[in-house]
Structure 1
Amino acid sequence: MKERAEKDTLTNLLNRTEFEARVHKFFSHNKQPEGIFIILDIDHFKNINDSLGHISGDKILCFVAELLIEIFPETNIISRLGGDEFALFIPYKLEQFELEKKLLKICQTFSANESTKVSCSVGVCFSPIHGFSYKELYKNSDIALLNAKQLGKSQYVIFEHGLTLPSFSQLEQKATALLNDVSDAMFVCDATSNEIIYINNTACHFIDKNKYECIGAKCYQLFWDKCKNCDRCLSINQLNSYYEEDTVMKDGKTSVHIKAKLGKWDGKDVKIHYLQGISDINK
């Protein structure tokens, strides 16, 4: 009876109440409470439920539960908090490379069955440096999780002091998720500093960079290998709206059609760039 009250009925992991109680117990019994708090959810889970039905969705939830038990044999403090949200607590430190290896396994796209591929987004924080209580650790790992989702999902973010909740509105967050998967390469840079504040997966693949390398970089350095504003940015400023041209990338062999315009992004003045018709000029 007691075990039934502690467990999530679908996955047989700890339920939220028992998970919280065990983390509280850890802190009350340890004077130097070193541990790792991890929270994750399944990317695009609503779409899976809507397209395949709740029975398939439940099977995927059980699959992820089993995966967490397999990847983290060092702890039995693993929970389905509710919906597609899971959490786990490791009551001691792991070597950084060992932890990151495990996190990559959770984030990577894997086959839940013959027809469904699934990935997860993950937020991580550590005690005691990020908190001495369940409440603090949950809050900080959730901030990290939301940042992982903003960066394009299927990845992990480790919390650090100064990291804040993403400031996009809910509508902008949904738009960002859609833009990540469109076929055209797209990036957005601050209109004044030219620092990239958003870049989709297609654009990252195009320049062979990950999002961490791109966010905050100057667009003219990253895409055009220049040390100052390129002519197209100057043209956008002069025309105060829109610009497009056919050009060749810095490798000298890739042609692309560029469209750029001034706009607003999360309340900021930005330049939005689309790279279309990418092809090899030698073919």
Structure 2
Amino acid sequence: MVLVSGKLYICPTPIGNLDDITYRTLKVLNSVDLIAAEDTRHSIKLLNHFEISKPLTSYHEHNKNSKGPVLIDKLKSGLDIALVSDAGMPGISDPGADMVGLCIDEGIEVEVLPGASAFVIALVGSGMDTNKFVFEGFLDRDKKKKKNRLEEIKNEYRTMIVYESPHRLKETLKLMLDILGDRKISLCRELTKKHEDYMRSSIDEAISYYKENDPRGEYILIIEGNTNPCKEEGLNEYEDLSDRDYVIKLIENNITKKDAIKTVAKERGLRKDDVYKQVLDL
């Protein structure tokens, strides 16, 4: 007899409003043999609300190395397992990605259900560029490491997304102002809940606001990318280069060809088409 492995279902859960759960997620949670939760105490409330009665087990950052293989064995025995986090999409800033990796290595099928993801909601609601963005997740708690990471991304031209806790928010904003300079920022909290809040301002304005107001709840920070990277790190030294070589240098500094052409054209008072013709072969 050939035993068929079970399937791992990645099930997103509401980030604040229980009405946001999908019919498909409820259907899967009702059908699987086991639910692996980031915090069983939290998830049991969700399951009770929707009258779902299934065995629960924990799977989180502190037990993933020991629990992961246990779940793999259960999947190999033919059990179907749903993986849920406290809120949102498992695998985003939690160990869900490790579980998916284990399944892929073992040839076990993984099905990801669509659903809530807090950073996508925050990004769209920020009013900033959504065409290109980079997700940083939580910055390191250590101030020195956090500072080093901000130094590494200060020339990033794409919109940046950062998660931060309330008790570290003020420090992080101050470091951002010192390293990234003042730029647009959207601070999002309590998304999808009754007191959902977007603060759209500059970094400096946000610092001033939180001198008078205590941060509350977990924050999603949407930070404007560097809109003039050629002024950073001495890149203005390239002003003596030809238009073509200037575009090449900007590309070498992780700027897209399209944005490099736009920057050169704007700085040198040229038509973008004229610059584009010089770099057709790049």
The answer to which structure has the higher helix fraction is 2
- More relative contact order, 1 or 2 (CA 8 Å, 6+ apart): 2
TM-score (norm 2): 0.26
Q: Kindly name which structure, 1 or 2, has the bigger radius of gyration based on alpha carbons.
A: 2
Q: TM-score, normalised by structure 1?
A: 0.26
